[in-house]
A and B are shown apart, each in its own frame.
Chain A
Amino acid sequence: MAGRSRRRDPRGHWILLILCGFILAAGLLLQGYAHGAVGESSRHDHTGGGPAPAAATHGGPVLNLSGGRPQSVRAPRHTIALTFDDGPDPRWTPQILDVLRRHRAHATFFVVGARAADHPGLVRRALREGNEIGSHTYTHIDMAGSPAWRIRLELGLTQRALAGAAGVHTRLLRMPYSSLTADMSAPEYRAAQEAARLGYVLVSTDRDTDDWKRPGVAHIVQAATPRNGAGAVVMMHDAGGDRAQTVRALDTLLTDLSAKGYRFTTLSAATHLPAADVSASTTAKVTGAALVDGQRAAGRLTSAFAALFAVAAALTGLRLLALPIFARTHVRRTRRERRRRAKPWLAAGTAPPPVSVVVPAYNEQAGLAATVRSLVRTDYPAPIEVIIVDDGSTDDTPFIGHRLAQEFPHVELVRRPNGGKPAALNTGIAHARYDILVLVDGDTVFQPDTIGKLVGQLADPTVGAVSGNTKVANRKGLIGRWQHIEYVIGFNLDRRMFDVLECMPTVPGAIGAFRRRALAAVGGLSTDTLAEDTDLTMAICRAGWRVVYEESAIAWTEAPSSLRQLWRQRYRWCYGTLQSMWKHRRSLVERGRSGRFGRRCLPYLTIFQVVLPLFAPVVDIFAGYGLIFLDPVTVTASWLAFAGAQALASVYALHLDGERLRTLWVLPLQQVVYRQLMYLVVIQSLVTAILGARLRWHVIRRTGTFSEEDPLPSQANA
């Protein structure tokens, strides 16, 4: 089992990640729903629906609608049942509890379930100090305007939150936006009946202080004070805004009325109902705790994500700003050096050196002939030799290679048993006669001037390697166009920046020129990683050589044409880059050129190729959350701003390469498939790295973009 399964790509983590994503989305949904809760505001007017039955409106403020006819009770004389709605609030509720405790008074708190879940400690404290908890729905909904299922959901969630926060259930309910019993409308009565059906005792008020309008302490006290020693259910609010007036009014009220012989107690004690809060069952406590903890965790996650979101946005913005600036610098420098670049060897006082071109080929029958023909057609003034290394191909590659070697005098075929691309390249380098080596993939086509432009940079003796400019030849379909744009940006913005900053992480396998001394200094290509080109480039940089970019040395390559092949290619690249970064991690702390390279290149790659893509799925989920629960205009605007900045950068990159801008229409579509594919690749690569799994070599299936240029008979026969 071990042998076979170890070579399979890891898959189990996707289940885990889907689960995590689902929980995250659910948590954000709950969080967004819970925090849509508002406090008291201008009343929702339902008087258009007519008044409630007289039997309900003419009774006391504590209403039982479960029987055939409404029954109600009032607070007895010299008894005040203080009620506080909309809490708990971390600022005001403790102050109100302090005042109550100082006066040895008790009250009833009609809590908003979502807030109880956010501040379970306050609920527990209120109960511990002898107060009573009632329900005020989960998110302060207008029950009269809500369907029955919503009412049931809101009341059920509140009971869950109370069970989770304090281990109790409550039988009391005050409907949000309700006031005096006499003002009850028919729609409110219907909602009250729905709640009564669920077992609730409805509580309205005798004395609505309107304290949420902040009318002044004196006004609140006056509104709360009953006449002639009557009893009352007094309505106040401990959340939903500045409640300083409420706190002060409560203190005054308790002082004044206690002197007049008033008692301040809970609703159930005042009306001789059994206590409103009863201990919840263990099941209810467990599910309640899951809800409360989930909502609090989601709350913390949301704030953390908001902060991370800002950091990610800032980094992305900085990069989009920095890339064109560096590109511009590079362009200016290139223009300044144009004359020297036109005849680099003359400027250096030497003749153009002979060049060995190494073409590793594993099952490249579709493109190999076109590649080699483009190489021998070069206008390079000095001798070149082309070494085809057949890496144990199982198709017609050795046959085609043999024909090419026979046809052209400077083409040589070397065959070896299959050993992977690095081994093939090392074999080719060993067979090469000259000191300047150009390494070319077997699916790439050069222009006649490519070798000259590429090798020209090596006239500078400090330069160890040169990267060329790879362009996508097969630009058909969305995938081809996406990659085309990506290549153009990568080579015209990223690579120019790497050149300016002297921290080139990769000379692409498709087109690169190397000095033999640089290759020898790092021991040739290694099989340590799947991205042998990145590994080699990093090693050369660390050895102290300059690695530069020559944008005019163009190679046409065949990009993967299906999502599956693209996935495989990127998986190999990403995993290989991770391997290379890990292998060269010591460069971060080293001195000299190696350290300078490491400290510039590795953090950049870590942030923009590993961390930000990893964070991208969360950005997607969070963007959905923002669209639903935050301001959709802001979310859309910031998305458009980033898409616009990206488009501008792309326009500049396309312009630098003289490409048509028409292709840009596929850019917005990148956001929906391509971007996800790219970040899933990063996740898959990281998981593979963590698990230490062994990967099989990923080979792209060649369809032979260049084969029609090749009239070789072997092709027709194959």
Chain B
Amino acid sequence: MGQNRPGVTQVLEPEPVFVDRTGRRRRLARNVGIAVGCLLAAYLAVVAFGLVSGADAPMAPWPDPKSSHRAEAPRHGRIAARPDTPRPDDRPTPGATARSRGAHSPGSAPTTARSTAPAAASSAQPGQGHAYGRTKSPNPRKP
């Protein structure tokens, strides 16, 4: 603005309303703005990642048909343990529960080289037959 030019009569007048000669307010507001902007962008990135990456059901071993017939009689050991020993104890091995990304056709797991079916069968439910489902994880070792 003209009145701040040197040599003009208004040069000694006070600063106009709102004007902050030091620039402190501007720097502060800019830093706050950048911080808020980064937070918002990060939040958007997280949500976008969540939507894009999808979430799969953890695969579960399936009880053997024979054992499910046997299951007509309640198995007290397992059931009694249930309320007190929460889910993680029941969980099949990491390989079997791998949340996974790849897309394999149904039933392909047992024949897939990367399959962890044997691990699932041998660990979580001993003697309870074959693994149901298949891992879609490109890296079965990934928890």
Contact = CB atoms under 8 A, between A and B. Distances in A.
Given A64-B132, A198-B57, A13 B33 contact: yes
Interface string A692-713: 1111110000000000000000
B138 interface: no
A173 B56 CA distance: 12
A202 to B, nearest CB: 11
A684 B57 CA distance: 48
Contact of B87 (A163, A168, A272): A168
A171 B60 contact: yes
Contacts of A417: 7-8
Nearest to B43: A290
A341 B97 CA distance: 91
B63 A272 contact: yes
Contacts of A65: 106
Contact of B134 (A66, A271, A695): A66
Interface residues of B, number: 77
Nearest to A78: B74
B125 interface: yes
B2 interface: yes
Interface string B11-45: 00110111111010110011001101100110110
Contacts of B126: none
Interface in A262-289: 263, 265-266, 268-269, 271-281, 284, 286-288
A460 to B, nearest CB: 32
Interface in B50-91: 50-51, 53-63, 65, 67-68, 71-75, 78-79, 82-83, 86-88, 90-91
A417 B10 CA distance: 11
Nearest to B65: A71
A695 B18 CA distance: 11
B46 A290 contact: yes
A382 B44 CA distance: 70
Given A19-B41, A274-B125, A690-B25, A284 B17 contact: no
Contacts of B14: 528
A666 B7 CA distance: 48
A225 to B, nearest CB: 19
A317 to B, nearest CB: 33
B18 A279 contact: no
B143 interface: yes
B2 A418 contact: yes
B63 to A, nearest CB: 5
A527 B59 contact: no
Contact of A692 (B18, B43, B44, B88): B18
B83 A106 contact: yes
Contacts of A529: 16-17
B3 interface: yes
A241 interface: no
A288 B2 contact: no
Contacts of B72: 76-77
A582 interface: yes
B136 to A, nearest CB: 8
A25 B69 CA distance: 53
A269 B79 contact: yes
A199 interface: yes
Nearest to A418: B2
Contact of B46 (A68, A159, A286, A423): A286
A278 B94 CA distance: 11
B1 interface: yes
Contact of A273 (B7, B25, B63, B83): B63
A583 B15 CA distance: 12
B3 A6 contact: no
Nearest to B67: A272
Interface of A is mostly: mixed
A420 B71 contact: no
A364 to B, nearest CB: 15
A201 B60 contact: yes
A269 B78 contact: yes
Given A272-B78, A692-B25, A19 B37 contact: yes
B133 interface: yes
B11 to A, nearest CB: 10
Interface string A549-592: 00000000000000000000000000000111011000000000
A271 B65 CA distance: 11
A624 interface: no
Contact of B1 (A79, A286, A695): A695
A553 B43 CA distance: 58
A198 B56 contact: yes
Contacts of B20: 691-692
A585 B72 CA distance: 82
B132 A67 contact: yes
A22 interface: yes
Contacts of B65: 71
B118 interface: no
Residue of B43, B55, B83, B106 ringed by the most chain A CB atoms within 10 A = B55
A128 B129 CA distance: 30
A420 B57 contact: no
B30 to A, nearest CB: 7
B63 A279 contact: no
Residue of B25, B34, B62 ringed by the most chain A CB atoms within 10 A = B62
A712 B36 CA distance: 58
Nearest to B96: A274
Contacts of A675: none
Contact of B16 (A170, A266, A579): A579
A256 to B, nearest CB: 20
B55 A272 contact: no
A271 B23 contact: no
A173 B55 CA distance: 14
Nearest to B27: A691
A423 B36 contact: no
29 contacts: A12-B34, A19-B40, A23-B44, A67-B62, A67-B132, A71-B62, A73-B68, A169-B57, A171-B60, A198-B56, A200-B57, A269-B82, A272-B63, A274-B92, A274-B124, A275-B87, A278-B97, A287-B46, A287-B50, A291-B47, A294-B47, A417-B8, A418-B8, A420-B3, A423-B3, A527-B3, A527-B16, A582-B17, A691-B26
Interface of A: 2, 6, 10, 12-13, 15-16, 19-20, 22-23, 26, 64-68, 71, 73-74, 76-79, 106, 130, 135, 152, 155-157, 159-160, 163, 168-171, 173, 193, 196-201, 263, 265-266, 268-269, 271-281, 284, 286-288, 290-291, 294, 391-392, 417-420, 423, 527-530, 578-580, 582-583, 688-697
Given A199-B57, A530-B16, 11 more contacts: A16-B36, A19-B37, A130-B83, A135-B57, A201-B132, A273-B62, A281-B99, A290-B46, A417-B7, A579-B16, A691-B20
Interface of B: 1-5, 7-10, 13-14, 16-21, 23, 25-26, 29-30, 33-34, 36-37, 40-41, 43-44, 46-47, 49-51, 53-63, 65, 67-68, 71-75, 78-79, 82-83, 86-88, 90-92, 97, 99, 105-107, 124-125, 128, 132-134, 136, 143
